[in-house]
Amino acid sequence: MAGARRLFAGTPWIGNDCYFPSQTARPPPIPWSGEMAQFFQDYRTLDDINRYLDLLAQRHPKLVTVREIGHSWEGRPLRVLEITKDGNSAEKPCIFLEGGIHSREWIATSTVLYIAGSLLREAEKSDVQLLLKHFVFTLLVPVNPDGYVYTWEVDRMWRKTRSDRPNLQCDGKVAGVDANRNWGFTFGKTADKSYESLLHDPCSSVFIGPKPFSEPETKAASDYMKQRQEKSLQLKSETAGPGYVAAFIDYHSYAEAMLPPWAYTAETPSGPDGVYQTEMTKSLNRAFFNTSGRTFHAGADVFPPDPGTGPDWAYGLLGIRATMTIELEGHSFCLPATQIQNVGQEQWAGVKALASFIQKHGGEPSTETGLFAPGGNSLLVAANPSMEAPASYGWLIALTVGGVIVVAVAGLMGARSWLRTSRGRSYAADGIELE
């Protein structure tokens, strides 16, 4: 876009348009001025995001550590901010927040950035000080930088990664992968044959990729959490050792919903973990309502089943109980920039409520499923056959063999079709209802 006509600094950039998503003929946006107070007045390019993160680290060296945990398919660094106060961050419970795994969901990226800024801006407030002393907050944003750049430069509505495999192209072009279905738990498992076809179609918006964690972006995020959990397990006495991941939140748009496990069955876990997750969403909903007046839909059954999601992996394999997808508000993926700060304030209140909930009710990994459950090193998770879904759900067993997750599923026929009928939802390949 070199030589294109530039907009005046005070003009909102016109590229946030879902109805006319082509960006190739548009003038480029004005770069961010560097003034912190102006950053959330508009959506920002990846270059501006990196400048913002660098400035946060430079201005708060005692609170912020920047770590590079990998690289995207196109070679862009995947960096996390670790934000904490005093003590060894490696020994503190970790709250992991990520946004932008679906590149067109710009508000998810902006929201995680807003939370990072709020943690530091309010670091001297007594309530935030206590949280920073107890937890390390790890923020990865955007998870999918290649796709994010593509939404600014080519196609505002691009959703997937930009992985380019010669044998997995779409009409001779880059197919990419839906990174939200690329995690190594219930990977590609569905009873709905039409949906299964979409999951394995490179031209589909929900293409799962050639194998679990085929995308370097999901591999990097999962490795970060897995290493913490494994170290905590090694240091375990009667309870989890230090440094475990206490929460994993994946921000998306748009549905105004909180989606804890299980996504793959659309059923809440039975026993104490299910109660814990239900109470967690209630706590966040109180914070949302007190901040914005909104109440989010909450529960595993808000959307029909979906395999291979991050929160299901985090709970099913690592035992992270405080995990969910949060679908932010809006009526399209192109939420006006004027809403960035409102959404950010609401979700910042939610993060504080989440951390307080964990302090009150505990954040140690589950003893019912995942690494810390009995036999967790081999039998990582079994789907609960007592769930009040069709009896055909059956069992799912995941084993680790030589570091590779092997998944076996039995008796799943008809489950997704039943849920589709009961909720009347469409599964268009690029429909707006895909989370």
Q: Which residues are catalytic?
A: 327
Q: How far are the Cα atoms of 128, 168, 178, 304, 370 from residue 92, in angstroms, in the given order?
A: 15, 41, 32, 35, 20
With 0-12 / 13-18 / 19 or more C-beta atoms within 10 angstroms meaning exposed / middle / buried, residue 74 is middle
- 325 with 315: CB under 8 angstroms? no
Report the DSSP beta bridge partners of residue 346: none
Q: Are strands 245-253 and 322-328 parallel, antiparallel or unpaired?
A: parallel
Contacts 24+ apart (CB under 8 A), 331-334: 331/254, 332/18, 332/254, 332/432, 333/18, 333/104, 333/105, 333/106, 333/157, 333/253, 333/254, 333/432, 334/16, 334/17, 334/18, 334/106, 334/156
What is the number of other CB atoms lying within 10 angstroms of the CB of residue 133? 12
Q: d(Cα 158, Cα 153) in Å, to the nearest integer?
A: 11
Whether the link from the prior residue into 142 is cis, omega within 30° of 0, is yes
Q: d(Cα 79, Cα 98) in Å, to the nearest integer?
A: 11
Q: d(Cα 348, Cα 350) in Å, to the nearest integer?
A: 5
Q: Residue 298: in which H helix or E strand, if any?
A: strand 297-298
Q: d(Cα 148, Cα 385) in Å, to the nearest integer?
A: 40
DSSP string, 378-406: TEEEE--TTSSS-GGG-EEEEEEETTEEE
Q: d(Cα 87, Cα 113) in Å, to the nearest integer?
A: 24
Q: d(Cα 235, Cα 249) in Å, to the nearest integer?
A: 25
DSSP category for residue 265: T
Q: Is 378 left (phi over 0), alpha (psi -120 to 50) or beta?
A: alpha
For 126, the token pair is 């007594």
Q: Give the 3-state secondary structure of residue 411.
A: coil
